[in-house]
Amino acid sequence: MQTQIEKTSSGQSAWLISLCEVLIVFLPAILMVEFMSAWAGKDPIRSTAVIWGAYVLMFALVWIGMKLRGDSWKDFGLTFTRVSPSEGLKSFGLSLLVFLIASLAFIMGPILIAYFTGDQPNADFSKYDFLKDNLGGLFLALASVYIVSSFGEEVIFRGFLINRIAEMTKATKYNSVIAVMLSSILFGLVHYEWGPIGMVQTGCMGLVMGISYITLKKRLWILILAHAYMDTLLLVQIYLASN
């Protein structure tokens, strides 16, 4: 009986620790973006600086949490070891496959909404209006999203968040499913500046990324590459359309 009580207490403590860690990572970043939004306004440089600052803060908090746990980036699937040419080629091929499926999910989001509602709204990409006739701005935006979005969002929303939610729900049979679903919902919500359709699109994309993360056994670099392809396609498309 005592052993069972200790196990229950240990499980509750682990759940609480994981929940607190998620809140500690996300809440300060959310508050930072909210308080500095007036200062950033619609200035793309300031807005980018605020987002960068928020992600740097989140990375620092995640790193501190890992140190306190005795974990490493490898526990999230982020490794920095050299790979053989054949393994690199295989990873590249898998990243293209994930890119294609995630892109399809990104496109299908508004199509499904249009089918069921009869409306055809578009995502709000007005924050990228500065790309008009601005090739230098395109390269700056690409450099920013590769670091903040492609790398940062995959580490935070797939590597960190899915693992922590899975820990919180490990007593259930479908803890990985719950973790992927919740992480994709939160991933969509943080793209609120893109409007409702943008949140649906990124949520669908996040769902594919989350499933891929579990299916590929946490090979995070594959997802980072796939995300980079999507970011490149999106920004180049916005740039060309604005010109």
The single residue listed with the structure tokens 């200062």 is 39
Looking at residues 11-29, what average pLDDT do you find? 87
pLDDT at 136: 87
Tokens of 147: 């670091």
Write the pLDDT tens digit of every residue in 53-87: 999 999 999 999 999 999 999 999 999 888 899 99
Write the pLDDT tens digit of every residue in 182-230: 999 999 999 988 888 889 999 999 999 999 999 999 999 999 999 999 9
Overall number of domains in the chain: 1
The H-assigned helical ranges of the chain are 2-40, 44-69, 85-117, 135-145, 161-168, 175-189, 195-215, 220-242
Looking at residues 164-169, what average pLDDT do you find? 92
High-pLDDT (> 90) share of the chain, %: 59
43 three-class SS: coil
Q: What is the DSSP letter of 41?
A: T
**Which range of residues forms the domain containing residue 60?**
2-242
pLDDT at 109: 80
pLDDT at 6: 42
Q: Are 210 and 183 in contact (CB under 8 A)?
A: yes
Alpha carbons 72 and 93: distance in angstroms, whole number: 27
Name the burial class of residue 28, with classes exposed (0-12), middle (13-18) and buried (19+) by CB atoms within 10 angstroms of its CB. middle
More confident residue, 129 or 157: 157
The total number of residues written for the chain in this structure: 243
Name the burial class of residue 66, with classes exposed (0-12), middle (13-18) and buried (19+) by CB atoms within 10 angstroms of its CB. middle
Q: What is the DSSP letter of 42?
A: T
- Candidates 53, 237, 211, 239; CA nearest to 147 is 53
Kindly report whether the global pTM for this prediction surpasses the value 0.85: yes
Name the burial class of residue 39, with classes exposed (0-12), middle (13-18) and buried (19+) by CB atoms within 10 angstroms of its CB. exposed
**Model confidence band, residue 42 (pLDDT cutoffs 50, 70, 90):** confident
